[in-house]
């Protein structure tokens, strides 16, 4: 089986490439797994922790906004805080949904639990929001310090006036006035106590204190309600007009007081704070713990993935190292095998080439491999054999060359003699051709003259042809005009016929006039003397009629002469037309003759031109022949010189043959 | 035969002359009429003078073949051109036929045939004139070759030549004219007509 060097190289490189490809596949698989792990680490696991932290942040924001809302007293700010709470709550729920989408199943249970706790926290926070948004204590404070305080001061002022006036007149005032003053002082005291317990209720730190303050305030209100009717009733004199005002203001103040107490009794701010600080905080703590647990699980998964990635990278690095070493060993083995198999055969070939270089053609080589090296060895062996055979042939050829060289020298000397004779013959031929050339020049000149004469004849025939054509056209014109003349004459004849008809009419009129004149004369005669003048007129008419008849007779005679003249003219014109037609036929014949003659002359001109061209061509041929003879003569001279040189070369060749014989004898066959 | 070349200038000159002559003829027609009228006036004046001095007989001259006849104008009613004739059956040879003349039927006799054709060389030309006679029971006309005209003849001359030239139908001959005897002709007509 033949296993060429090319096949060896291809097999070696294919093996290396296959091993490298396998190594690359192993590395690719490991890199893909490593990349997936890294992607998880960099993306998914990190996202879980980030989202969990976002949920924690949203919860913190919600709790902070809840506290801030409880600390606010302005309703507008409270509403804005409430909006922020709802936004943070929405972010928390969105975060849980997002985390659910990227979490594993084990983590989803924790998230469900977290969402459940968050819903519970939202419910508690909703209660806090309701209480916070009511802002009862603030409203109660504003009522109490605002309109309630104003009404209270007015009532106190009235009561003070009544009391002072009653006290100012104590020395002379009856006991009723003193009692009124006393009642006014007591009312002022009860009012002040009511206001004190109202503020106490508002500022109560807990529900118990609130209840105590409310009870004290209600006791004072009952006292006022009992005392005020008696006081109003007791008013008299100038204080009487305060009675209605006091009752109205008291009712108004009491209405405000009851509203304030209702708000204070509700104590929403306190309850909201307690709820926020108590139950809400507990649930928020649970949420915090659950989020920490989720983050902890995520961190654990992330740590596991990181460890797995490290193991994978280590495994991949080891696999690649082993594969590279294996591939390198195989490649080195293949290279050594290639070098050995190629260089062994080549060294044998070099040995054979060196032997041939020194003239030893008896060496041979043997190669066991079946590749290009073997082909080279076989070729070198064949080359050596062929060189051997060539050397043998060269040796015998050299001997033949020497004998052939001697024969060449002899034939060269004979050829020199022949060339001398050829040179003399060429000179004689040149003289003869020179004479032929001269006669050819004269013949060409005569032919040109004849052609020129024929050309002139052609031009003359063309002119004659044009003249004949013009004559034909003129004849046609004459014929047309003669025919027109004939038509005009015929038309004139028709006119004379019309005149004849007119003459007939005139003659008839003359005849009638003649008869009329006769009858007139007859009538005149019958009239006797009375018709004598009429007879004269009739005679004159008759004379005129007779003269008219004579004139018409003369005109008829003239017309007859004219008609004869017209007939004669028509005949003459017809004869002229016939003669013109005959002339045209003659002209056509002449034209055809001239045309034929022109064609013949043209053919002759062309023939002469061809003769001139042929003569010129012949002349050129003679000149070329002369030139060729010159070249032959020159070549003969050169041949003579070459023959001498050839003789010298043959001598040199003989010497070279002897040298070659000596050189060939050096080969070892 | 060598023909002489036409002198076209002469031809043009002759044509111009002919054209000018024709134009002159047309232009001179009014002058010609004036001359005719003047001549008529002159003749009328002359006739009046003549008729006052002499006694004239007016004759109608007719041509029949190569001969010329004359008849008294007083016997002639009118002269007409020979028109269409209707030939009745069994008519005498001299009766040419009946002719309608302005609504009146006239008998037309051939004068030559009535006179027996004696001396009427060349008579019987186509056409001709009809001389209508006066005072006939039936309107009657005589066909002649041509009624040439009226000539005045002195009455005395008619009487002088009567005896010398009298034959069957003619009375006399004056200045080459044969004066017809219309009474005989009328008698002849009356015979065949009846």
- Angle, to 10 degrees, between the axis of helix A136-143 and the axis of helix A242-266? 160
**What average pLDDT does this structure show over A353-363?**
80
**What average pLDDT does this structure show over A93-102?**
86
Q: How many CB atoms lie within 10 A of CB B192?
A: 14
d(CA B97, CA A155): 179
Q: Which residue of B has its CA nearest to A511?
A: B81
Q: Fill in the DSSP letter of residue A145.
A: I
| Chain A residues 517-556 with a CB less than 8 Å from chain B | 517-519, 521-523, 525-526, 532-533, 535-540, 542, 544, 546
B103 or A369: which leads in pLDDT = B103
Residues of B in contact with A535 (CB under 8 A): 47, 58, 150
The reply to whether residue B81 touches residue A537, judged by beta carbons under 8 angstroms, is: no
Nearest-5° angle of CA A562, CA A566, CA A572? 145
Per-residue confidence (pLDDT) for residue B194, from 0 to 100 = 42
**What average pLDDT does this structure show over A152-166?**
83
Whether the per-residue pLDDT at A638 is higher than 60: the answer is yes
Q: If we measure between CA atoms, which residue out of A77, A78, A84 comes closest to residue A62?
A: A84
* A298-312, A399-413, B36-50, B108-122: range with highest mean pLDDT: A298-312
pLDDT bin (cut points 50, 70, 90) of residue B52 is very low
pLDDT digits (tens, 9 = 90+) for B93-143: 888 899 999 899 999 998 888 877 644 544 556 688 999 998 888 899 999
Per-residue confidence (pLDDT) for residue B28, from 0 to 100 = 59
Per-residue confidence (pLDDT) for residue A172, from 0 to 100 = 55
d(CA B124, CA B128): 8
Q: Is B21 on the interface with A (CB under 8 A)?
A: no
State percent of chain A over pLDDT 70.
Answer: 97
d(CA A458, CA A608): 13
Q: Fill in the DSSP letter of residue B99.
A: E
**What average pLDDT does this structure show over A468-480?**
86
Per-residue confidence (pLDDT) for residue B119, from 0 to 100 = 42
**What average pLDDT does this structure show over A382-403?**
82
Q: Tokens 């004998």 belong to which residue?
A: A403
The reply to whether residue B40 touches residue A540, judged by beta carbons under 8 angstroms, is: yes
Domain extents in chain B: 8-52, 57-193
State percent of chain B over pLDDT 70.
Answer: 72
| Backbone angles phi and psi of A539, in degrees to 5 | -65, -40
Whether the CB-CB separation of A44 and A104 falls below 8 Å is answered with: no
**What average pLDDT does this structure show over A240-252?**
84
The reply to whether residue B58 touches residue A512, judged by beta carbons under 8 angstroms, is: no
**What average pLDDT does this structure show over A638-648?**
80
Mean pLDDT of all residues belonging to chain A: 83
**What average pLDDT does this structure show over A361-370?**
78
Residue A305 Cα distances to A63, A481, B36, angstroms? 35, 129, 163
- Strand arrangement, sheet containing B177-180: B146-154, B56-64, B67-72, B177-180, B170-174
Residue A631 Cα distances to A377, A412, A626, angstroms? 57, 21, 8
* Closest by Cβ to A519, choosing from B40, B51, B78: B78
A253 or A179: which leads in pLDDT = A253
CATH class of domain segment(s) B57-193: mainly beta
Domains of chain A (ranges, CATH numbers): 138-267 (1.20.1440), 372-664 (1.10.287.950)
* A194-198, A204-208, A406-410: range with highest mean pLDDT: A194-198
């Amino acid at each position: 089986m033949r296993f060429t060097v090319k096949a060896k190289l291809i097999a070696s490189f294919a093996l290396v490439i296959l091993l490298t490809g396998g190594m690359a596949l192993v590395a690719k698989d490991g890199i893909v797994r490593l990349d997936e792990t890294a992607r998880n680490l960099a993306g998914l696991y990190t996202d879980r922790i980030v989202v969990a932290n976002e949920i924690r942040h949203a919860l913190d924001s919600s709790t902070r906004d809840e506290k801030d809302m409880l600390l606010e007293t302005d309703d507008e700010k409270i509403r804005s805080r409430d909006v922020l709470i709802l936004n943070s709550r929405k972010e928390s729920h969105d975060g849980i949904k997002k985390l659910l989408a990227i979490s594993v199943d084990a983590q989803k249970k924790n998230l469900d639990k977290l969402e459940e706790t968050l819903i519970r926290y939202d419910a508690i926070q909703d209660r806090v929001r309701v209480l916070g948004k009511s802002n009862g204590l603030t409203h109660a404070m504003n009522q109490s310090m605002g309109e309630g305080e104003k009404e209270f001061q007015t009532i106190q002022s009235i009561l003070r006036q009544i009391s002072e006036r009653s006290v100012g007149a104590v020395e002379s005032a009856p006991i009723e006035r003193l009692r009124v003053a006393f009642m006014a002082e007591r009312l002022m005291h009860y009012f002040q106590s009511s206001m004190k317990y109202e503020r106490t209720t508002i500022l109560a730190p807990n529900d118990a204190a609130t209840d105590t303050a409310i009870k004290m305030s209600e006791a004072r209100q009952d006292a006022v309600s009992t005392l005020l009717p008696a006081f109003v009733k007791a008013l008299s004199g100038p204080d009487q007009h305060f009675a209605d005002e006091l009752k109205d203001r008291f009712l108004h103040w009491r209405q405000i007081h009851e509203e304030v107490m209702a708000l204070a009794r509700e104590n929403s701010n306190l309850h909201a704070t307690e709820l926020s600080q108590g139950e809400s905080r507990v649930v928020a703590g649970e949420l915090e713990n659950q989020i920490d647990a989720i983050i902890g699980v995520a961190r654990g998964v992330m740590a596991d993935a990181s460890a797995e990635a490290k193991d994978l990278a280590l495994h991949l690095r080891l696999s690649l190292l082993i594969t590279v070493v294996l591939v390198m060993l195989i490649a080195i083995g293949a290279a050594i095998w290639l070098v050995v198999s190629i260089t062994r055969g080549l060294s044998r070939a070099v040995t054979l080439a060196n032997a041939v270089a020194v003239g030893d053609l008896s060496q041979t080589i043997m190669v066991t491999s079946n590749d290009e090296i073997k082909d080279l060895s076989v070729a070198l062996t064949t080359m050596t054999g062929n060189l051997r055979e060539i050397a043998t042939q060269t040796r015998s050829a050299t001997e033949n060359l020497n004998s052939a060289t001697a024969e060449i020298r002899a034939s060269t000397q004979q050829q020199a003699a022949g060339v001398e004779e050829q040179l003399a013959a060429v000179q004689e031929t040149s003289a003869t051709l020179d004479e032929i050339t001269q006669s050819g020049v004269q013949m060409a000149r005569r032919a040109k003259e004849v052609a020129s004469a024929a050309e002139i004849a052609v031009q003359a025939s063309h002119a004659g042809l044009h003249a004949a054509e013009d004559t034909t056209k003129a004849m046609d014109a004459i014929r047309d005009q003669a025919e027109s003349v004939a038509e005009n004459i015929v038309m004139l004849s028709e006119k004379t016929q019309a005149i004849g008809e007119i003459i007939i009419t005139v003659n008839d009129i003359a005849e009638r006039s003649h008869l009329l004149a006769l009858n007139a004369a007859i009538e005149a005669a019958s009239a006797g003397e009375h018709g004598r003048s009429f007879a004269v007129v009739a005679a004159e008419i008759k004379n005129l009629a007779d003269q008219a008849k004579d004139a018409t007779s003369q005109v008829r005679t003239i017309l007859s002469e004219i008609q004869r003249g017209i007939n004669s003219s028509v005949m003459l014109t017809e004869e002229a037309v016939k003669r013109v037609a005959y002339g045209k036929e003659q002209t056509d014949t002449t034209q055809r003759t001239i045309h034929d003659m022109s064609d013949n002359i043209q053919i002759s001109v062309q023939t002469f031109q061809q003769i001139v061209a042929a003569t010129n061509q012949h002349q050129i041929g003679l000149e070329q022949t002369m030139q060729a003879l010159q070249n032959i003569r020159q070549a003969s001279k050169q041949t003579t010189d070459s023959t001498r040189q050839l003789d010298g070369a043959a001598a040199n060749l003989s010497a070279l043959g002897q040298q070659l014989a000596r050189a060939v004898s050096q080969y070892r066959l | 035969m060598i023909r002489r070349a036409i002198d076209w200038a002469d031809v043009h000159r002759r044509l111009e002359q002919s054209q000018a002559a024709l134009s002159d003829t047309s232009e001179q027609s009014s002058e010609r009429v004036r001359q005719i009228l003047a001549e008529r006036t002159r003749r009328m004046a002359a006739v009046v003078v003549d008729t006052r001095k002499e006694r004239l007989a007016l004759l109608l001259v007719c041509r029949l073949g190569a001969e010329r006849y004359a008849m008294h104008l007083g016997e002639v009613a009118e002269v007409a051109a020979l028109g269409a004739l209707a030939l009745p059956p069994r008519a005498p040879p001299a009766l040419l036929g009946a002719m309608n003349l302005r609504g009146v039927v006239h008998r037309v006799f051939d004068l030559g045939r009535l006179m027996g054709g004696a001396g009427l060389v060349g008579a019987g030309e186509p056409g001709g004139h009809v001389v209508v006679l006066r005072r006939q029971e039936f309107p009657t006309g005589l066909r002649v070759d041509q009624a040439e005209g009226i000539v005045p003849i002195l009455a005395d001359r008619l009487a002088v030549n009567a005896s010398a030239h009298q034959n069957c139908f003619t009375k006399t001959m004056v200045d080459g004219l044969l004066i017809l005897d219309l009474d005989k002709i009328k008698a002849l007509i009356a015979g065949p007509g009846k």
